[in-house]
Amino acid sequence: MDPSHQPRICISLCEPTVAALEGAIAAAVRNSHLIEVRLDCLEPLELKNRAAAITKLLQEAPCESILTFRPAEEGGRRELDEAARQTFWSDAIFSSSFFDVELDLAENFQTSETSPSMPIDWSRTICSHHDFAGVPDKLDQIYSRMSRTPARVAVQAKDAIDCLPVFQLLERAREDGREMIAIAMGIAGVATRILGPSRGGFLTYASLDSETATAPGQLSVSELTDVYRLEKLDRHTQILGLVGSPVSHSLSPLIHNSAFAATGTNAVYVLFETQDIKTFIRRMIHPRTRELDWRLRGLSVTAPHKFTVMEQLDWVEPAAREIGAVNTIVVEGEALHGFNTDAPGFIKPLVQVFGDLHDARCAVIGAGGAASAVLWILKEAGAKATLFVRDAGKASALVARFGADWMPLEGARFEGFDVVINATPLGTLGQLESEAPATASQLRGARLVYDLVYNPTETKFLREAREAGCQTLGGLVMLVAQAAEQFKLWTDAAPPEGVMREAGERGLKKR
């Protein structure tokens, strides 16, 4: 296992029959030079009666392979006690480039006088440990126990902060000159799958497609190569990302990474799902306190952290302070600077379609962070805004800050308004998809309806607006416009807005 020649991506294959495995290998070798064959996924009779066919298949495959026989407690598809696993590997006749054996079993083979001998080559064996409960306190001890072979550690991340010990384990292995695979599983750990190889990891695992993942948070090979450009990442790559909870639905990685690729920028944008923004910023982000040596350039911030993150920053632009929300962080030397690109991102496409907003009558539905940014920028543009909400308490706080009028949403009519803006999550893909903040009869007589929801592209609110005869504007234009403003802040370069818009449209078509 020479690190200078190691593949970066290993496609994990989990198939029930040899015939299905043959097809999967044929598909995998078009995308990678290394595959993992999960023997525990094969039906028992296929594994027992077709061992020779499996070996022949692997010998003839134009790639290297890792053989794995994983028990259920370590993420496998079978209930296998230690005796069954010992017998399997003792009798194994399979031919493979590498073998993956669990830590407990490897120790028994190496130390027990009563255990049967293991015929496979230890120099080609990866010793592995999986923990689906979380990150064990004694991770260093587990690493030390794996001293005789290359090591593979996979732990369950419940928060992006759990990536920290995994990255630190990779750094220790790099300093020790050891070959190491370290992964934090789950959406909160996805950054380790993307950044691991560039930080010394032997490889990262991928699935053939989004339907065949073999572990929580595992990305497809096309995501790793086409979106994150994993094979181009190195220790000089600038790191950016989205912090919030949840984040898995976001189009931002596709939009920003497409922009970096189009401009030849050595940067990557990843996801960080966390509930504890204070600890996350302190331990992983702030240059003066973080416990990780990486080239972090900045972050996008989404719910529920746009307000609370302000307390963790060294400087916040006046506009963001007035709005009461930060959605963009830039690392400037030893300091963190906060900005709000939602406001300019909202108004730029609106002005392009509508024109000058001075004295325009604008109805804003909602009372959250998005509504705050909208009200602030409408005030700056000289528009006359009226807030429509269900909660009078929330309305009074916002109108006092931004000098707007307010009316109850129930029974509201929007005839005579130039622009009606949905700043609520109603209509978002999922549980809220069938809802809209207003009906066609309520919207009739309004000139333009602007829905800040971008997924799905065609929301129920926009359908109601078209039925009412209104001009419409969807939320993707705002998402791209605010992302373009972020790109400028992070790179000091002109953003490729056409590329970013096409990436967003492409991402929505796949959902």
Alpha carbon distance 345, 325 (integer Å): 14
Alpha carbon distance 462, 458 (integer Å): 6
Active site residue 306: yes
Query: Which residues of 157-259 form beta strands (DSSP E)?
Result: 180-185, 204-206, 238-244
Contact call for residues 418 and 448 (beta carbons, < 8 A): yes
Among candidate residues 158, 278, 306, 509, the one labeled active-site is: 306
Give rounded-to-5 percent helix, strand, coil for the chain. 40, 20, 40
Per-residue tokens: 160: 């992006």
- Type of residue numbered 161: I
Alpha carbon distance 68, 94 (integer Å): 11
Cβ atoms within 10 Å, residue 319: 16
According to DSSP H, which parts of 230-307 are helical?
Answer: 252-263, 277-280
Contact call for residues 37 and 21 (beta carbons, < 8 A): yes
Nearest to 163 by CA among 79, 316, 274, 80: 274
**What is the crossing angle of helices 342-354 and 369-380, to 10°?**
60
Query: Which residues of 245-391 form beta strands (DSSP E)?
Result: 267-273, 296-301, 315-316, 328-332, 335-339, 361-365, 384-389
Alpha carbon distance 114, 127 (integer Å): 21
Q: How far is CA 59 from the centre of its chain?
A: 36
Alpha carbon distance 33, 9 (integer Å): 8
Alpha carbon distance 35, 182 (integer Å): 17
- What are residue 12's DSSP bridge partners? 36
- Residues assigned a catalytic role: 306
